[in-house]
Amino acid sequence: MFFALLIVTLLVSLLVCYLVARAFDKPITTILERIVGPEIAGAWAKYMKFAIYVVGVSGGVRIYDLERYLPQPESYTPEGRPIPMPSLTLTPERWLLEIYRTVIETLQALAWMLLLFFLFALIAYVIVRIWGGRKAKDHPQQAS
């Protein structure tokens, strides 16, 4: 059951990443074309898609939380008697909770990543505008 849960959470996380990448594809490409130019904006947009998948899957598939569903090794008392360590049972309610948690945590990780991207893009846009304005003042167009 653990492997099924791991695969399902991975697939759910990939689906959420795909939907977010599709939703933000045009804005990311447009912003990058404006900041770095159309000749390399495509490469940067591909990198951003890759980053969306990496951040989304790493945020959504929480390996350490899923380890609770694995059988725990037995501990022993000083007398040598085994102490069984219980593991959680995967009930339908827990399945639903884990899938919901995967969706939410994937979206949360992606929201932070995209917030940082758009924040740095805004700063870069302002710098490009200021630099472009100064360049135009330094080299005014000559009328013919």
pLDDT tens readout for residues 107-143 = 999 999 999 999 999 999 898 888 876 766 666 665 5
The encoded tokens of residue 53 equal 């998948």
Residue 83: helix, strand or coil by DSSP? strand
**Which strand (E) or helix (H) includes residue 120?**
helix 92-138
8 A C-beta contact, residue 113 and residue 55: yes
CA distance linking residue 132 with residue 135, whole number of Å:
5
% of the chain beyond a pLDDT of 90: 55
Q: How far is CA 105 from CA 91, 117, 135, in A?
A: 21, 18, 45
pLDDT at 117: 95
Core vs surface per residue 68-78: b (16+ CB within 10 A) or e: ebeeeeeeeee
pLDDT at 109: 97
pLDDT at 61: 92
List the chain residues with pLDDT less than 50: 144
Return the beta strands (E) in 1-144 as ranges.
75-76, 82-83
